[in-house]
Structure 1
Amino acid sequence: MYKVLIVDDEPWVAKGLKKLIDWESLGYTVIGDVHDGIEAMEAIQDMNPDVVLSDIRMPGLNGIELIESIRLHGLETKVILISGYAEFEYAQKAIQLGAFDYLLKQVDRNTLTETLLRLKIELANSHKGNREQDFHLEDLFELLEPDNNIKINNFMINRRLEFEFPHYRFISCLYPHSSAWDAIAEQAAQNGTQWFRLRTGQNKLSYLVNYDEQKKPIGLLDFISGSLAGAQYVGISGIGLYSTPIGKLYQESDIALSSSSFLQKQSITEYKSADHVAALTKLVLKIELAIKGYKRDVIRQGLDELCEECETRSMLIDQISALYNQIVLFVYKYYGNSELVQGLEYLTYSQIVRSCESVRQLFERISVIFERQSDEEMLLSKETVKKIIEYIDSSFTEDISLSMLSRQFNVSLGYLSALIKKETGTNYSDYVVAKRLNLAKELLSDESLSIQEIVERVGYKDYFHFNKLFKKHFGITPSKHRKI
């Protein structure tokens, strides 16, 4: 069923349109009606309808402005406008802006039915295109894996690209809204740079940029300031050559982008391979000795110092991840057989970005396990425990972190983590991932859904992260599973 949102400033007209035809027999379902353009745009972003049936004259945003806003947000929602004879010029402009069609008031039942049948064919073709794009995305997933040794020159030969400059960088960008661009775009060039664009997430684009760092470095700066002006965060890789593995450059740009969005100190971050972990050896040793001796105050003090160092040095997220995992290793080294380590896990940089709100909250995961639990927590009722698990089961597709749950149920992070491990047999993140992936596996049987739509439904935004998790969990990628 394709989802339809009806927009009209007169509620009785909207209700009349809902009753005018048998929507479900045509393959549509009306998911709601709203009564002004601003409310309509909010509903479109929240409910993601396939089709909007809208009056052309409304308060807030009129029909033309609504179409412009939909396109500005990169959404693929189809729009059918309803207009009077006096609004014919508006209707013509709407068609130019990409409206599917317009209908004259009063809307005729047969005309609406015929329009929806034509639109259904276009929507079906669009979904077919989305499925074809799934395979493009899967190719990218394999190509951009960090352990993939395909070099830039091999990539260019396979894509029949000709780049003339000696240096390469990957630049990954996070945008405020999702992108409707294709998975793979054509090569483009300007002012001493050439680039190739890839869509690497719902609201993420990555560019392989070719330029001359020595003769014309300004070309790269012009590209960033001009072509990437709408990006919220930007991550820039180190410099690569013709023989550099393309996966390595992409991961560097992704680490820089993740660092920028996680630390939120600067909107543009360049990848640099400085080894901060080695520079903090004394502090890390101090924390290890404190953990070995179970000196809680010293552990807390050492972790606070480590947080300050990470923030002061503007450390990249992969270095922060390395430090965190080194401390986790110490906990397992000295207390691996005790209940103390329940819920404590090693985290990749991408897991840190998704599960923590700050560096301090990350290291809090370690410090809290050395704090004594209150009698109230230790006597948490079975009914409360049941409520916590039920809440997770009903909300696993939402972006809910363990720290948010601990605040909501007024339980310390460490205790809640151990509690979930005891009740489910696994830690919180693995429990949520398993539920999301099992739901995704069920949704893959619905051929009308593209994999990108399934990714969003189960609670992810990044296709590549989802693809990696699915393959690790089931041993096969989502596209290949769909073919079985």
Structure 2
Amino acid sequence: MWKIAIIDDDRQVLKGMKQVIPWEDIHAEWVGDSLNGARGLELIREKKPDIVITDIYMPVMNGLTMIEALHEENFPGKIVIHSGYSDFEVARKALRLNVEDYLSKPVSRHTLREVLGRAIAALENEQHARLEQDKLRNKLMAYEPFVRKERLKSLVTGTTDGLQEERSWLRGEAGRYMVLGIELLRTARLCDVNGSDRLLFRFAVNNILDEIVHGEGIGFDYIELHGYHAALLLHFDRTASYESVIGRIRSMAQRIIDCVQHYLNITIRIGIGGLKGSERELSDSMEEAFQFLSLEVPVLHPSGVFEYADAGRLSMNEAHSAGRPMKFYQHLVGDIKETQGKNAAKIIGSYISALKGHQEAGVLQFSLLGTQFWAILSYALNDEEIHLEELFQGNQLELELGKLYTIDQYEQWLNEIVGRICHRQEWHENFKHRLTIDFIKQYIHEHFDREITIAELAQKVFISRNYLCQIFKNGTGETINNYIISVKMEKAKGLLLERKHKIFEVAESVGYKNIPYFSTTFKKYFGVTPAEFIS
């Protein structure tokens, strides 16, 4: 119901207006009246009517003064002046104050209905516009975490579009930043699991990182890269120096490696990049952090921690490093996944040009570069259930790499490999649906703290529920519901291990309002109840 207030110093006018307004027809109700502008202003502030019908010449406070006060307070409703005087100056002021209409006394029932109808129509349009704005704002708020993650990923990999950002995607004020490069080693523990389980491993690693880095009181962002690589972006204040933080970061990196090995039985290694002073330099820090990938020796340090400062003391292919390999790998793998290699030749060409420009820095060893390229590509595409070893038989890969003597031959080989990957007919279906499956997985990981339905997920990707279930099962080997449960249970396990939360709090944190049902699901998944798990 629309609320209408009437302000007039003539009691007969007040009584007559209330009688002639077709309240039911226009879905409106009377919320009060007043005999002067001062009391009228109090009434409007208290009742917050949608429409105010007011006289101009009244005692204590005239109508225009009252309207001016409402205008200064950003009154959202509509004001209709109802006056017995035709005054040009008053009309001019009314227009300046955005009054909806100016009626001369006496006014007919028909005219009053028309004016109120227009006012209500304007209110409905404004209400609709606000609702649409709220929907858009809510959508933007919901998608902002995803957008932020993608923009941060572009910043650290150096794959931004080159346009000047209107806003910073880093939290807090401008300071100094450091990237830690994380690689999950492809041991037997990871080789024998499917893509869904590998994603859960990365999710579990993320939980350990989150707890350790939070404990250090360091601001950070965790950024998933392709395959078994991730970047940990650390935030420091502007007074920080490499010398003042490296000891602490070295110790923290070692703790992460030890905890991941202890709790997950997964081996990782971590590279520490340089400390940078702007967003534009983040990709430099990441390339430095991942320089251990370019090393000729397979083991850097017994601890598994590699510092960029050590690079000068180790045998490295400096020309390859100057070619920004992590940017190249991330850009190329993304193109293979998203467009089946439509831009691959251009990406490879840009990388080769960078290598040629720095070739004098060292002798390029194409067998080493090719082996590294093959390993990273295999890691990245393994999640798509695409096994690159199917492209070669026996020692065919080693034989091909052994025939590469020039940088042009290496470029040709890279293009041929990508061509073979993208034209394998049996892999096309995986590429076709991978983006949908990746989005669904990411959405589940972002919203594990509430109930998620298949209907909701299907609506997000604009396909039917049955078809979504089919492609998800074909692409991952498990049902969507089982995947949702696995994500919730792994998160619940992590929270229970912290021993800081009660069981019902953990249940609510992963979207279960029914505590007994949560306990039953937990026992079915892990073989023990939550109480037994923490006892």
Query: Shorter-chain TM-score: what band?
Result: 0.3 to 0.5
What TM-score comes out, normalization by structure 2 length?
0.31
- The structure with the larger Rg is 2
Higher helix share: 2
